[in-house]
């Protein structure tokens, strides 16, 4: 399979060529910048109160709903926000917006919503 043609790095002023959007040097900087903007887990609401609530929710809902839909019994390990809350605290704490998922189902759902892993969203 032919490789993608190289193009100039998207960082203004950089003349490096890459098959990705950014050259190796600027890709690392871009990812770091996105992580800083995103904030820590605690800053996004995933603090002690969330961890305690999450454990209680998973005790009441121990099986992954994604796997149950295909007749598979898998323990849930993630409390997923069905509609991404994007910082909306009311939606974050709305239990009707939660579902129990296994890590694999959660990763697949997240990748579909975000358009793929590592996209910077």
Task: Count other Cβ atoms within 10 Å, centred on residue 73.
Answer: 9
Q: Are 83 and 98 in contact (CB under 8 A)?
A: no
pTM: 0.65
Strand partners, 79: 100
Cα gap 1→5, rounded to integer Å: 12
Beta-carbon-side half-sphere exposure of residue 27 (alpha carbons within 13 Å): 13
pLDDT for the residue 36: 66
Cα 103–Cα 109–Cα 111 angle in degrees, nearest 5 = 100
pLDDT for the residue 34: 65
Cα gap 88→69, rounded to integer Å: 29
The residue that leads in pLDDT, 6 or 50, is: 50
Give residue 121's pLDDT band: very low, low, confident or very high (50, 70, 90): very low
The domain segmentation of the chain, as residue ranges, is 7-38, 48-114
Distance of alpha carbon 68 from its chain centroid, rounded? 22
Structure tokens at 72: 């598979």
């Amino acid at each position: 399979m032919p490789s993608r043609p190289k193009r100039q790095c998207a960082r203004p002023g950089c003349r490096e060529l890459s098959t990705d959007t950014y050259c190796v040097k600027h890709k690392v900087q871009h990812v770091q910048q996105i992580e800083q903007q995103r904030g820590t887990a605690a800053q996004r609401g995933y603090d002690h109160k969330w961890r305690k609530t999450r454990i209680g929710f998973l005790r009441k809902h121990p099986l992954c709903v994604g796997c149950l839909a295909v007749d598979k019994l898998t323990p849930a390990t993630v409390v997923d926000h069905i509609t991404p809350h994007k910082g909306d605290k009311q939606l974050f704490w709305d239990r009707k917006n939660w579902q129990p998922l296994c890590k694999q189902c959660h990763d697949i759902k997240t990748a579909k919503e975000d358009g793929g892993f590592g996209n910077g969203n």
